[in-house]
Amino acid sequence: MGIQDWSENVILVTVAPEPDMSDEIKTVIEIVQQRDNCSVVVDFSDADIVTSSSLEALIRLQKNLEDHNQRLVLCGVSARTKGIFKVTGLDNFFEFVADKFTVDCHRNRYPSLRSVSINN
């Protein structure tokens, strides 16, 4: 897993493949709770599946961020992984973009993502 500060209020997380993903997302939840004012972009480009424990952790992360008026954006999600979100009915629960560079195009929709730069 890699965690980068894209800006003062945006974290980029590149998750590792299962079985480590769930624990890594739990680590991100702890970071978000400490910072209290950051949005999160999760890059799935290194992962091809998502287990139920990772889905549960993502739901908790999403709810935690929503409670603080922040956003969770998932990117780099393969078709196979996106299918898991669809089968579970979570494809409409999360915000998906093609890749981490596409997040830059969504800055106007998400004030907390406005300072994200594709150059980082």
Q: Would you state the pLDDT for residue 120? A: 33
- Region 89-100 average pLDDT: 91
Domain boundaries, given as residue ranges, for the chain: 20-95
Q: Would you state the pLDDT for residue 72? A: 95
Q: Confirm or reject CATH 3.30.530.20 for domain 20-95, answering yes or no.
A: no
State both tokens at 106: 């969504």
- Region 12-37 average pLDDT: 91
Q: Would you state the pLDDT for residue 106? A: 53
Q: Would you state the pLDDT for residue 109? A: 53
Q: How far apart are CA 3 and CA 58, in angstroms?
A: 16
Look at the pTM and tell me if it is higher than 0.85.
no
- Region 18-23 average pLDDT: 91
Q: Would you state the pLDDT for residue 104? A: 58
Region at 17 (left for phi over 0; alpha for psi -120 to 50; beta for the rest)? beta
pLDDT tens-place string over residues 105-116: 555 455 455 433
pLDDT tens-place string over residues 34-92: 987 889 999 999 998 899 999 999 999 999 999 989 999 999 999 999 999 999 999 99
Q: How far apart are CA 31 and CA 114, in angstroms?
A: 20
Residue 20: pLDDT above 60?
yes
First-last CA distance in the chain: 17
Q: How far apart are CA 85 and CA 109, in angstroms?
A: 23
Q: How far apart are CA 115 and CA 55, in angstroms?
A: 28
